């Protein structure tokens, strides 16, 4: 069994190259005919404004996911801070199963904690307050009742707010609080976490635990996988990937779990 992990693709109409790369990746997963699961750990989209949103570029993306799940590859989705409005209609269309943040994935001899990662960015108290609001059902119900145009405008405005706020924040404030991640792992008797969000792809060894940070798709595309007890993280430039596919990915990290 091979399990793949991706996050922070930030797909949108602005990045047809990333959409091409992702669709190609799903096609290759199917061609390989191996027992496979794909875990999308949030921020798959640059911004999701509701399952009633329709666009040609996204129909292509949803069709690729639906083909993947129909071919027998189990698909799991976990909300990020930009696509937290993904709901059951989208999940049904693509054939994905929703997993919640801090889900334990049992493996043969161990388990791995899966999460997006933003809930551990505790130093950014302003962000945590914002997160609490936008993750509340009351706020989400209110937003989803607005016409699409208004939701689009609101998402664009929040995006701008975030950009100007991030510019004023220190680098360290926008990373996870290492001790909070450690506390979660202790509580769950788990030694490995896989998360995204911070755009700082790395494998950190902290005390006796492993923190695997997925890469965001921009200049490079990133793909992590677990096969047996081996975790690997691979990357390729977008053009390299489009030319050579999965074989064009170069190993950036390897760790025994």
Residues that bind Mn ion (CB under 5 A): 43, 80-81, 197
Residue 169 interacts, among ligand OKV, Mn ion, none and using kind-specific CB cut-offs from 5 to 8 Å, with none
Q: Which of 7, 26, 36, 81 binds ligand OKV (CB under 6 A)?
A: 81
Query: Considering the rule CB under 6 A, would residue 126 count as an interface residue with ligand OKV?
Result: yes
Instruction: Indicate the helix (H) or strand (E) that contains 104.
Output: strand 103-106
CB of 144 to ligand OKV, least distance (A): 8
Supply the DSSP string of 180-217, one letter for each residue. HHHHHHHHHT--EEEE-SSS--EEEEETTEEEEEPPPS
Residues 6+ apart with CB under 8 A from 137: none
Q: How many CA atoms lie within 13 A of 93 on its CB side?
A: 16
Chain residues 196-255 in contact with ligand OKV, contact rule CB under 6 A: none
How many degrees, rounded to 5, is the angle at CA 111 between CA 213 and CA 108? 125
Query: Cα separations (Å) of 42 from 144, 145, 228?
Result: 19, 23, 24
**2: which 2 tokens?**
């091979």
- Name the DSSP letter for residue 144: H
Beta-bridge partner residues of 204 = 211
Name which of 160 and 244 has its Cβ closer to ligand OKV: 160
Q: Compute the distance between CA of residue 65 and CA of residue 89 in angstroms, rounded to an integer.
A: 14
Contact region for ligand OKV (CB under 6 A) — 45-53, 89-97, 177-185, 199-207? 45-53
CB of 208 to ligand OKV, least distance (A): 32
Name which of 10 and 234 has its Cβ closer to ligand OKV: 10
Q: How many CA atoms lie within 13 A of 235 on its CB side?
A: 19
Q: Which of 14, 159, 250, 254 binds ligand OKV (CB under 6 A)?
A: 159
Query: Considering the rule CB under 6 A, would residue 49 count as an interface residue with ligand OKV?
Result: yes
Q: Which of 19, 41, 47, 73 binds ligand OKV (CB under 6 A)?
A: 47
Closest residue (Cβ) to ligand OKV?
A: 162
Contact region for ligand OKV (CB under 6 A) — 18-26, 153-161, 212-220, 234-242? 153-161
Instruction: Indicate the helix (H) or strand (E) that contains 222.
Output: strand 220-227
CB of 52 to Mn ion, least distance (A): 23
Name which of 47 and 194 has its Cβ closer to ligand OKV: 47
Q: How many residues bind ligand OKV (CB under 6 A)?
A: 18
| CB 185 within 8 Å of CB 165 | no
Closest CA to 238 of 64, 23, 62, 67: 23
Contact region for ligand OKV (CB under 6 A) — 62-70, 152-160, 192-200, 218-226? 152-160
- Residues in touch with ligand OKV (CB under 6 A): 47-49, 81-82, 85, 126-127, 130, 143, 151, 154-155, 158-159, 161-162, 165
């Amino acid at each position: 069994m091979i399990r793949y992990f991706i996050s922070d693709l930030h797909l949108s109409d602005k990045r047809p190259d990333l959409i091409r790369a992702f669709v190609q990746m799903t096609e290759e997963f199917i061609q390989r005919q191996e027992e496979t699961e794909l875990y999308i750990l949030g921020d798959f989209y640059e911004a999701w404004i509701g399952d009633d949103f329709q666009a040609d570029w996204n129909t292509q993306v949803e069709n690729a996911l639906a083909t993947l799940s129909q071919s027998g590859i189990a698909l799991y989705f976990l909300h990020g801070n930009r696509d937290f409005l993904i709901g059951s209609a989208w999940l049904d269309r693509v054939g994905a199963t929703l997993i919640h943040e801090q889900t334990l994935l049992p493996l043969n001899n161990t388990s791995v904690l899966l999460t997006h990662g933003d809930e551990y960015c505790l130093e950014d108290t302003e962000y945590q307050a914002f997160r609490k609001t936008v993750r509340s059902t009351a706020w989400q119900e209110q937003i989803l009742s607005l016409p699409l145009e208004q939701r689009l405008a609101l998402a664009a405005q929040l995006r701008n707010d975030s950009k100007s706020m991030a510019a004023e924040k220190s680098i360290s404030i926008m990373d996870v609080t290492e001790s909070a991640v450690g506390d979660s792992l202790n509580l769950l008797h788990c030694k490995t976490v896989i998360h995204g969000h911070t755009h700082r792809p790395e494998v950190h060894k902290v005390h006796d635990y492993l923190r695997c940070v997925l890469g965001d798709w921009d200049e490079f595309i990133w793909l992590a996988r677990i096969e047996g007890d081996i975790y690997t993280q691979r990357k390729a430039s977008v053009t390299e990937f489009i030319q050579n596919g999965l074989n064009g990915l170069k190993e950036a990290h390897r760790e025994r779990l």
